[in-house]
Chain A
Amino acid sequence: MNLAARIALGAAVGMAAILLFDARTRPTVLNVLVERGPSRAIRSSPWLVENASALAVSADPMVASMWMQTAAERMETGKPLDPHENQSVIEMALALTDREPDNSFWPQMAAGLLAASGDRTAARRMWRTAGVRTRWDDYQSARLMATAALAQSPPAVASWPYARAYGLRSAAPARFIHTYGRAVLGESAFGSRENTIDRAATLRNGLLMRDGARSIAIAELGSSLIEAAGRDPEALRSGMTPRRLLLARHELLDQFRANGFDTDEALAMRAFDTNDAWMAFLDRETAERRVRWLAFGALLAATVPSALLAASATGVVLLVLAAGMRRTKGWRALLNHPWPYVAGVLAGAGVYAATGLVYACLAVALSVSALALEPARARTHPADSLGPAFGFLAVIFAASIGGFVAAFLVAQSSAAVELSASLAVAESFAGSPALLVVAGIVASLILLAAPIFAVVHRLQTPFVLERLVARVGRYLLVGFVAVGLLSVPISVGIEHRMSDSLSKILLNEPNYYLTQ
């Protein structure tokens, strides 16, 4: 071993040792080996509706928030609550209304639930109560932050749990409130005093929801509620234009003025002005696209270094295989006619049985059968080098095989399984061995390349095959270990920056964009 090789070996060993020893980097090095399949932390979080088999009656706002979400989702999916369930959820909403006198979320939900149970008078009273409160909090951010915290292993930082938790936020309670808020406007004649009071309450509730929302989707519903307060549903049924909307707003302001609601008039003017700014400021699609990219980056940062390091084990397997081929000569008899053809048919049948893919089966069958090719007169003393094309081909094989194995390992990781829905990747793909099969198909092409080089250089096929397998294994081992080790500190740095952004987005998405 020459000087450079010894320095490189020492550096690799030292780097691997310190990266495994340091608690900040250890999870990144071992990620795909330790965290596989669905995340235990996320799936066992007590703060997710998806994990609960049943919810207990509680005055805890976190638990009550889960009740409200479930009730809203059940109503959206057309599965109405039975009387006992309805009674329980209304009682909880009313209890939290008393317990948190400044939070408008609970009376808003109570209003919607009371209306759904047929008590319209109590519902309107509750809706007006909600309008005079000072904040709006559905406790989803708290629950999701608690869930993301469960998936962390300090002092290491993982950003993908924040991305996963972002996708778990439900806008169903806000939609439920929005639906009731629009419905209450049609319960009295437009222009009447009762209607004016309802409009003032709806505008205030919309404003509270928009300003208190922790996600853009919910804030948009609040914004929509503010606009709805200014419209006469009957008059606007024929169509909406900016001019009509402007006139409707002024009509509402006139109504407030005529009925002596000076405070509400000032509030409405401010709400309409800020609503325009709000709608111009953010759009949900751009924000969701940004989070999708951040989630993709979080997935790569969490899994790629460990996947590269684990994929380098394939190089060890190939090196051991090549050493075995060099030491034992008996296997060479298998390359005599007709065994390569028999092996080709069997391998092709095996691949077809595993994948059902005709082209993959043909590729493997032909590659294995190609081992029967050999030059008519092979050299007795082969040259030491097989040329630059041989080395280049070995690099391509090493990169492809290792790349597909690494991609397979990434797809099996907890981060990939959890984020597959957010990244619009089929969940079945995350758990399938398809990428490993592709790696196998690429590896089988070695059997095709070896006889071609054997014929070109007039060498025995087994000799070239052993050389090619050894070269691919060596490149794969050295290349993937080097890149894997170097990518760990970079990945840790990216994780910290991603965590910063994603956690702020999860905690308060509108505020994150406002402070950018």
Chain B
Amino acid sequence: MRPFFSRRARRLPIHRLSCRRFDHIVSESLDRPLLEREQIFLDRHRAVCATCAKLESQKRMALNMLRMAALDPGLEPAPPASFEERVIRRWRVESIRSGLTYWTPAIVGAAASIVAVLAAIQILAQSPQLPEFRRPEAGAKLERPVRNGSNRPVIPAFEPRSVPETR
């Protein structure tokens, strides 16, 4: 996914696209003969983009070195048996370290936002002077329970006393 806030993407969209294409075609050139128009593109881009030209030459140099090492095993002594394991371990440590380094700004941002929100709530959400409500104590006594659940009209009907008294 392209970064949302990528400064480079906003500044050099077309240039970046052609660099990517250059990189792709250079990789392809290692596996198959290029078309004429692809070769023309490589030449033109190499002429205007020094970074891509340098990266291409480094890539080719590294590949040549690997090829030479593969063809002539007597050039260097064989690596120790634990070499591969150490390389993998080192790679893992590096990847974790780089991951932590990469996400450190996010962790700092999270911590800062938590502190800021807590402070804001502390300031803004101070308890208002809500009036206290106390139910009046008047010897409340329900002589009959309130009936619920029946489908009566909204205005409640009175519950008449069974033996009406006259006053």
Contacts and interface: CB of A to CB of B under 8 A. Distances in A.
Contact of A142 (B108, B135, B143, B155): B135
Contacts of B140: 58-63
A25 interface: yes
A384 B141 CA distance: 78
Contacts of B146: 46, 52-56
A6 B103 contact: yes
Interface residues of B, number: 65
Nearest to B156: A52
Interface stretch (A77-85, A175-183, A290-298, A356-364): A77-85
Interface stretch (B56-64, B65-73, B78-86, B158-166): B158-166
Contacts of A82: 160
A53 B167 CA distance: 28
A7 B3 contact: no
Given A6-B105, A157-B128, A500-B128, A14 B121 contact: no
A87 interface: yes
Contact of A14 (B110, B129, B157): B110
Given A56-B146, A57-B161, A15 B167 contact: no
A17 B115 CA distance: 12
Given A1-B3, A88-B161, A100-B138, A11 B113 contact: yes
Contacts of B49: none
A54 to B, nearest CB: 5
A179 B145 CA distance: 33
Interface stretch (A337-345, A398-406, A433-441, A487-495): A487-495
A258 B11 CA distance: 98
A56 B144 contact: yes
Given A8-B109, A62-B136, A53 B3 contact: no
Interface string A229-259: 0000000000000000000000000000000
Nearest to B144: A56
Nearest to B153: A53
B109 A19 contact: no
A139 B11 CA distance: 70
Contacts of B102: 6
Interface of B: 3-7, 9, 13-14, 16-17, 102-103, 105-114, 117-118, 120-121, 123-131, 133, 135-136, 138-152, 154-161, 164-167
